[in-house]
Amino acid sequence: MIHVRGALAIGETSRFLIEVNSNIDGPVFVRLRNRTKATRRATYLLGPFVLYCDSRPVIPANQNEYVPQFKANIEPQGKFTFQLKPEDARDVGGKRCWIIDVVSEVLFNQITKVDYELLISLDINNFKKSKYQQDIYESIEGDVVAKQYSNHDIQEFIEVGAKIKKSQTKERNQHLVIVTHGMISNVSNDMMYIMEQLRAIDRDDLDEELILDGYTGNVCRTELGIKNLGIRLANYIVKERYNTNIKKISFIGHSLGGLVQTFAIAYIYILHGWFFDAVKPVNFISLATPFLGLYSHIGNYTKRLLSSGALGQTGEDLRYHSHNKLKNFSILYLLSGDPAHSILQKFERRTLYANAINDGIVPLASSALLYLDYSKILKDSKLLKKETDDIRSIVMTWKEFQDSEDFKVYKKVNPKSKIFRRVSLTNTVGNLVLPEPPKNITSDMNVLIHDQVYQYNDIPDSEYFPPDGIDEIMAMDRHQLQECMARRWHAGKSWRKVIVCLEGDAHNSINVRRRYSNSCGWAVISHMILNHFIKPQKCDVPEADIVSQPASRDEADMEPNKTYAWLLKEDKEKGGLIRRATNALNPIARRL
């Protein structure tokens, strides 16, 4: 019997490659147990001490008939028992192979770990007799063998029969793809599916080598604010990741990660002006990113959470203040203009993916930069048989908003009407560790209800833009400011906007946080990879709209420059209530 024990911290995954001899005609039994003490269920801020596990054949015997086995919420002392059936996996070279992923669901703490135990046997009764002495990776008869991979190993993991091929003929230019996660910054786990799908692209389809990476130094540092998170990411890209073989760069950001990436590229553009001369910016892709903040059309609970300081400076950044209360420009407003405006123009493609419904954190208006052809969305949703009361409600509400000359529509909307389905921030956070089971597990679900390139000329005129000087900007209310920011994001640039309709927890499914719990997002990632890396389409911007690059500066010159002082001057780190509470509990965690 195979018997393995381990412990996983935040962002860590253990992957097991199980090889079973083809002469075994019965099922192989697997049991994963969360060995953490049951008392730790109550110490949520120290964990949570929960595991996710899934199993899949490396090469399914029948892709359409295979039903994956997974469990999203294995609590302390909980168990997950399942079978590896020979009829599910194809025989290759006298072996059938499965992959088992054990994933940590720790969210708030970098110290604590979740202990687990994995048992694999041809006889389920052996589980009761097993007494752990040491890790055993091979059965006595040699019929079953387990190979374990850590997070670092998974980056280089090549599945049997995968499409990845090592080029033996010529060296290829490197295309660096930076992925950035949202609020928890858990790149290694929560963006794993995206990286694995990119890694699985047939190299014969590419004329370059994709280098996939993400900055893990921001994990559990959500409350530092967009600026501090962005500076840390920028320094990692320039000082640790760049080399002369890298000729192109793309960015994929989920939720807050899209704003962090925007700040990072603006910071690099000004402080390291040489970088984008040496490296060509190709794709800027956002997944449910709150470009216009989170304050409009969200529940009172979410507003109170942002106002309470629970999320520190990041909560302040996303609260969506009007300028007259801040006595200064908000970082969201500043990011919508230069220098981010200038460098974003240089990207070949700018694409945003936005959730129409079921996103309890980021509203459609914010993630889609406000302006959409809402009539066309409603028409497309009918053709795709996706018309629901939720889509009709949100489309008609926002269409009324767009057609109005002022923003009184916000006050006129019936509070009982559904702008979008009632999925609160509480639901979304809860779904991180206890997601709703997907109704269907397939990549063929038609979830894209709108896909269109928008030019600045497509946007209707507005009495608020361009504003007549700083005083008018400072006097704007939230809704006027939202429109002004949306127009600044669009100025001189084209944006491809892809609106999707996902079931369950859409905010965590749009990036496929977990392979099977969030499987309704598979089609989104497939669309993203096909249209940006395999068969990319160029979104041209008129040459007249392209502005020249600002002169690059040395660090010695940057401080006197007041124009970009908000970008270059580092702020004092501001922690949030969650982090302070977690730090206060850490001494207790060490004794548990």
Q: Give pLDDT tens digits for 264-291.
A: 999 999 999 899 999 999 999 999 999 9
Q: What is the mean pLDDT of the chain?
A: 79
Report residue 461's pLDDT band, with 50, 70 and 90 as the boundaries. Answer: confident
Residue 475: C-alpha distances to residues 294, 320, 325, 370, 468 (Å): 20, 14, 9, 21, 11
| Model pLDDT, residue 466 | 60
Q: Is the pLDDT of residue 437 over 60?
A: no
In this structure, are residues 421 and 358 in contact, taking their beta carbons and an 8 Å threshold? yes
Nearest to 16 by CA among 122, 146, 116: 146
Condensed to tens digits (0 to 9), the pLDDT of residues 493-547 reads: 999 999 999 988 999 999 999 999 999 999 999 999 999 999 887 655 444 344 4
Token digits for 572? 């004092």
Q: Which of 30-34, 202-206, 401-405 has the lowest mean pLDDT?
A: 401-405
Q: What angle do CA 485, 486, 490 make, to 5 degrees?
A: 115
The one catalytic residue among 14, 121, 250, 255:
255
22 is catalytic: no
Beta bridge partners of 80: 32
How far is the C-alpha of 32 from the C-alpha of 54, rounded, in Å?
A: 10
Stronger pLDDT, 43 or 200, i.e. the higher one = 200
Residue 522 parent element (H or E): helix 522-529
Nearest to 258 by CA among 294, 300, 296: 294
Residue 407: C-alpha distances to residues 56, 300, 410, 411, 448 (Å): 51, 20, 6, 8, 29
Q: Indicate the length of the chain as a whole number.
A: 592
How far is the C-alpha of 43 from the C-alpha of 52, rounded, in Å?
A: 18
Beta bridge partners of 102: 14, 53
Report residue 39's pLDDT band, with 50, 70 and 90 as the boundaries. Answer: confident
Token digits for 460? 């209707």
Condensed to tens digits (0 to 9), the pLDDT of residues 59-75 reads: 988 877 778 899 999 99
One-letter amino acid for residue 303 of the chain: K
How far is the C-alpha of 267 from the C-alpha of 93, rounded, in Å?
A: 52
Between helix 192-199 and helix 522-529 the angle, nearest 10°, is: 40
* Dihedrals phi, psi of 196, to nearest 5 degrees: -70, -35
Condensed to tens digits (0 to 9), the pLDDT of residues 523-535 reads: 999 999 999 999 8
In this structure, are residues 389 and 418 in contact, taking their beta carbons and an 8 Å threshold? yes
3-state secondary structure at position 504:
coil
Beta bridge partners of 118: 4, 32
Torsion of Cα atoms, 437 then 119 then 88 then 508, to 10°: 30
Burial class for 125, CB neighbours closer than 10 Å (0-12, 13-18, 19+): exposed
**Reading across the β-sheet that carries 280-287, which strands appear in turn?**
209-213, 174-180, 246-254, 280-287, 349-355, 495-500, 448-454
| Model pLDDT, residue 490 | 94
Report residue 321's pLDDT band, with 50, 70 and 90 as the boundaries. Answer: low
Condensed to tens digits (0 to 9), the pLDDT of residues 155-213 reads: 555 443 333 344 444 567 899 999 999 888 899 999 999 999 999 887 776 778 999 99
| DSSP conformation class of 138 | B
Kindly report whether the peptide bond that precedes residue 76 is cis, defined as omega within 30 degrees of 0. no
| Model pLDDT, residue 473 | 61
| Model pLDDT, residue 306 | 53
| Model pLDDT, residue 220 | 85
Residue 238 parent element (H or E): none
How far is the C-alpha of 32 from the C-alpha of 116, rounded, in Å?
A: 7
Nearest to 313 by CA among 331, 335, 296, 295: 331
Residue 193: C-alpha distances to residues 95, 419, 474, 526, 528 (Å): 26, 31, 43, 11, 13
3-state secondary structure at position 314:
helix
For the whole prediction, is pTM greater than 0.75?
yes
Mean pLDDT of 54-60: 92
Q: Are strands 246-254 and 114-121 parallel, antiparallel or unpaired?
A: unpaired
